[in-house]
Amino acid sequence: MKFFLFVLILFIMNTVLYAKESGYSISTALVGMSMDYREYDDQDVILDSEKSTFKSGLLVGVDLNFAYTKVFESGNYSKIGVNLKILNGETEYVGSLLNSSCNSYGCYVSKSQNSIFDTDLKYKYSHIIKNAFSLNYGIGVGYRSWKRELSVTQIEVYKWLSIRPKVGFSYDLSKFRLGMCIEYQYGINPQMTILADAENPDTTVNLGAANIIQVSIPFNLSLTENIELFVEYIYENQSIDKSNTAPFIINGKEESILEPKSTANNQYAKFGVVFKF
């Protein structure tokens, strides 16, 4: 596993304050991510895959978060904040080689470098249903980028904006808080760019769609009035639809390229601390 530090993330909606007083919070967290990404042809035959696991090595990063919480007389509260996340690490690539006799899935195996950047601005409202049980719902806008370095000469960058509605619940018991949240990220103007090589300038195709469903389970422990520890598990399902075609030079010959449809099943583990003031 390679360790990459200095990731700014401002606000994790699921890493909540114990909302008893209005105020600000800053939190930091170490993050590990496992990836299971697969591309398919039009007949749903797998073309290639990218994987990272606890055994082979995770993508890793650091979170730094900032948020403001407003508590109302009823005990209900709202929260607004911003988020910036960066993860880096190796994945195992399994696929084939273009314009060669290695043209079936699994005949070529290598390592690729990955960088994920995710940022958002979110608003959440928490309604106290009964005693310590709360219903949470909100909306956010975000931006996501994934840089995929398959080789020195083949580097792809996926990027899109998104609208992010979410709903969940949380339960407080003394110094503990347990929650669950479901978030849907609807991609806007998703694109994939192949960075320039000796034969081609940057080449961009428009993806058919790029959407994410995310389920998170956070657990908080209050140490003092101003300090909390938290752990969080996140499962993420990403789907990308096939792109349009674009001209591309391969070995001196003009070809048409496109980005095939794909799915990704990712998991995250977060460990961090929250400071309130």
Buried b (16+ CB within 10 A) or exposed e, 145-164: ebbbbbeeeebbbbbbbbeb
Q: Looking at residue 157, what is its pLDDT?
A: 98
pLDDT tens profile 11-39 = 333 333 444 678 999 999 999 999 999 99
Is position 8 within any domain? no
**pLDDT-above-70 percentage for the chain:** 92
Q: Which residues span the domain enclosing 78?
A: 23-276
DSSP label of 207:
-
Helix (H) or strand (E) holding 257: strand 253-257
Is position 15 within any domain? no
The number of CA neighbours under 13 Å toward the Cβ of 81 is 28
**Is the pLDDT higher at 1 or at 24?**
24
pLDDT tens profile 105-162 = 989 899 999 999 999 999 999 999 887 899 999 999 999 999 999 888 889 999 999 9
249 C-beta neighbours (distance < 10 Å), count:
15
* Amino acid (1-letter code) at residue 119: T
Q: 3-12, 161-170, 233-242: which has the minimum mean pLDDT? A: 3-12
Q: Looking at residue 20, what is its pLDDT?
A: 60
Helix (H, G, I), strand (E, B) or coil at 210: strand
The number of CA neighbours under 13 Å toward the Cβ of 24 is 6
Residue with tokens 């929260």: 79
110 phi, psi to nearest 5 deg? -155, 180
Count of domains for the chain: 1
Is position 84 within any domain? yes
- Residue 106 belongs to a domain with what CATH number? 2.40.128.100
Is position 10 within any domain? no
Contact 253, 231 (CB under 8 A): no
Q: With CA atoms as reference, report the closest residue to 274 among 213, 223, 229.
A: 229
Q: Where are the alpha helices (DSSP H) in 48-192?
A: none
Mean pLDDT to the nearest integer, 231-242: 98
Is position 13 within any domain? no
Is position 42 within any domain? yes
pLDDT tens profile 153-194 = 889 999 999 999 999 999 988 889 999 999 999 999 999 999
Is position 132 within any domain? yes
Is position 136 within any domain? yes
What does pLDDT average to over the chain?
89
Q: Looking at residue 22, what is its pLDDT?
A: 86
